[in-house]
Structure 1
């Protein structure tokens, strides 16, 4: 029972490459001759199990590196070890031989990583064998593509993608990583065909290098997955007009965006607010925005934001968040000006359960800042009668005015269970007793939630 589990993805988890010898036990005479030509005279004993049939996950780059390690072991006393070019040719031949063996002996992949940083050359016979053994890719569910930069990488990747588009329609997760700015029509066309050929794509992710700005209809191809797509991840890419296709995705629940270009940050937030109108905004339950110093990592629309003090950036972000106001459950904002716009945003959060704010006011004396912040919180307590948040973090209950505002909110709302006070030990005993008649006061760390 354990053997099929242990041999699902041995190229990723095996500490020693000696497991490759078990695969080679099923080599034919012709293949063994190839090994002997390189001085590999190892005897491969017959195995009880047909190990290639258990393979479910494969990373082509790991396949290459495990083959390299295996060759270094079996040729430990060989004179060939000092010849790097010859060694590379041996590795390529062994990699192709091993891959051909896996395909022909019944392996059926669920996950495939097309990484080409090390595995550079695939012989034409590999793709011929794929055509003769369609089961190898027919059940593929997770596909990752990365490190496509050089011409030989592009050619290999394009050929593999053509095979994927031809032999499987069951991919649910497609991740395109380390995608370069260069334009190659064959590469983009192959990716578009993969996207369009699938019947149930649920997660699509793309990571650019050098801030990817053009997608040549690749993102637009997601229109074909509008009924199944549930999550989109965008990293170091410009949100151009192609991303408006997301408006048509009926079941999109999760959107994660990372923008790493300081100059483009404001523009990207503005584009986000246009792309995600109220129609789609109300459906999304998880929004993640990592934009320069803006950091948000929500789970079930849990928002954590750390800003860099740019008021224009703050305004743009708050405008973009309006679409998601009805769904926010957890809100944690650091280093933001306590503006009217922020107070309005908080006042609209009818599902809010956790609130944590760390605000600033440029050039304003501390006492004036405290006064303004407390006035804003008092206004929120007094007006947000439908608010349902259960936990509130506060730095200190300074005076009777603050305590009365808190008590008034508890009387009207009746949903607040805990108030975490950072300066818990500094609480006035009379204020403590008065407030605790309506809500439990606890130390800040006791109810602090990290998401």
Structure 2
């Protein structure tokens, strides 16, 4: 029962590469003979012993960059002395074996340009079950004239329509890859998650616009290191959109925030108060998870002090179903300390009663943590703070536990000499 599970994703694990040899036992006699001659020619003597299982047919996750890495490690381990060795022959042999073994992939990860032999594509046409159940497609760094990867994507688009997750990393692709991506996006029936990690690309060549074909199914979008582009406005047409995660995006996404979501994450990205108010207004009755990690580099004058401005406090008050809140912001210099304390009290008192998780892991907030905790009456289950190194905070936590009787986890970002400052053993329970 365990073997099929252990061999679903062997190339992504940290296990030693010696398991590569076990696959060779499933090769045909002619292929074994050719491979044995090839290895001996390069100084590798390998015996293909029989195995209890046909391990190749258990494969569910094919991460090609990891496959290439494991093959190179296996070759390095087997070589008696350092020699030039073309690992592409073994990679193609294993790829063909996986296809013909009867395996059905659930996840495919493409990386650097492939050097696939023409027979691989013929074998795929003859064994369509290999790609027929793929649900997760990930494209890592692709560069150069990677026609093999583009061809592989087109074959994939013709075989399966069940992909629900597409992840693109580093968007410096060639035109033929963009065309293949558009083709595969439009060919899917229920794409739910689309993720793009770019290097601040200026153009998206219709790939984002192609998401309009998924307007009835798309639920989550992750944008990392991207500039705003008019193509993103197509997301406003998505009827079941629930989660938006914007990370390290330089230009404002004001026009993008014109829809309702239940999860919003903004990390180190430029966004103004007006945009924040707009999405809070539209999502107030739906928003359950909110994560804001902002610093001065990504804030213009209109967002200074948003974390405890009067407007922000009112916006939080209207989030009637909020369950998870993460708030990390840079120190506010233009608000007097007494005013800031009042705002923190107001913020603490208006937190929705639905809130279960509160992450305030900011170093600048540490002097006011006890004030916030002392005025909080929300039945929190988990709380994350930056530091726990003075008696005021420890006492506030103990009193909060006694008062609310729900807190069962406190995470501390930096604890320093915790035992020297605090003695709350047995009290915080």
**Structure 1 length normalisation: TM-score?**
0.71
Q: Give structure 2 stretches of 5+ with no counterpart.
A: 296-303, 361-367, 414-429
Deviation at 1:45, TM superposition (A): 1.8
* 1:19 equivalent in structure 2: 19
Asked if residue 129 in structure 1 is aligned to residue 130 in structure 2, the reply is no
In the alignment, is the contact (CA less than 8 A) between 1:396 and 1:423 conserved in 2?
no
Give the superposed CA RMSD.
4.1
The alpha-carbon distance between structure 1 residues 64 and 367, as it changes in their structure 2 partners (threshold 3 A), is: closer
Secondary structure of 1:11's counterpart equals coil
Alignment partner of 1:45 is 2:49 = yes
Are 1:149 and 2:143 an aligned pair?
Answer: yes
Quickly say closer, same or farther: Cα 1:331–1:215, change in 2 above 3 A. Answer: closer
Rg comparison, structure with higher value = 1
Are the counterparts in 2 of residues 172 and 202 from structure 1 also a CA contact under 8 Å? Answer: yes
In structure 2, what is the equivalent of residue 93 of structure 1?
89
Asked whether the 8 Å contact 1:99–1:126 carries over to 2, the reply is: yes
1:343 shift after superposition: 4.0
Measured at CA, do residues 364 and 187 of structure 1 come closer, stay the same or move farther in structure 2, by a change above 3 Å? closer
Q: 322, 346, 361: which is aligned to 1:377?
A: 346
TM superposition score normalised by structure 2: 0.74
**What does residue 138 of structure 1 align with?**
132
Structure 1: distance between partners of 2:335 and 2:67: 61
Which of 64, 68, 71 does residue 68 from structure 2 map onto? 64
Asked if 2 retains the 8 angstrom alpha-carbon contact of 1:417 and 1:440, the reply is: no
Deviation sequence 1:219-264 (CA, Å, 0-9, x none): 1111111111111111111231211221221111111111343xx3
- Distance between the aligned counterparts of 2:79 and 2:190, measured in 1? 46
Structure 1 residues 1-400: aligned runs within 5 Å: 1-13=1-13, 15-31=15-31, 32-39=33-40, 40-77=44-81, 81-82=82-83, 84=84, 87=85, 89=86, 91-116=87-112, 120-151=114-145, 154-180=146-172, 184-209=174-199, 211-261=200-250, 264=251, 267-268=252-253, 270=254, 274-277=255-258, 280-281=259-260, 284-292=261-269, 313-314=272-273, 316-328=275-287, 337=305, 338-351=308-321, 362=333, 365-367=336-338, 370=341, 373=343, 377=346, 388=353
After superposition, the C-alpha distances for 1:266-314 in whole angstroms (9 at most, x for unaligned) are: x23x2xxx3332xx31xx111111134x7xxxxxxxxxxxxxxxxx945
- Report the equivalent of 1:297: none
Measure the CA separation in 2 of the matches of 1:198 and 1:72. 41
| Total equivalences in the alignment | 378
> Higher mean Cα deviation, 120-129 or 351-360?
351-360
Moved more, 232-241 or 314-323: 314-323
Give CA deviations for 1:77-122 in whole Å, capped at 9, x if unaligned: 5xxx33x3xx1x2x01111111111111212111111112xx6411
Work out whether residues 353 and 390 of structure 1, in 8 Å CA contact, stay in contact via their aligned partners in 2: yes
User: 1:130: Cα distance to partner?
Assistant: 0.8
Shift of 1:37: 3.2
Contact 1:146/1:179 (<8 A) preserved: no
Residue segments in structure 1 that go unaligned for 5+ positions in a row: 295-311
Which residue is equivalent to 2:417? none
For residue 442 of structure 1, report the CA deviation from its aligned partner: 7.7
Contact preservation (8 Å) 1:424, 1:442? no
Tell whether the 8 Å contact from 1:276 to 1:323 is kept in structure 2 after alignment: no
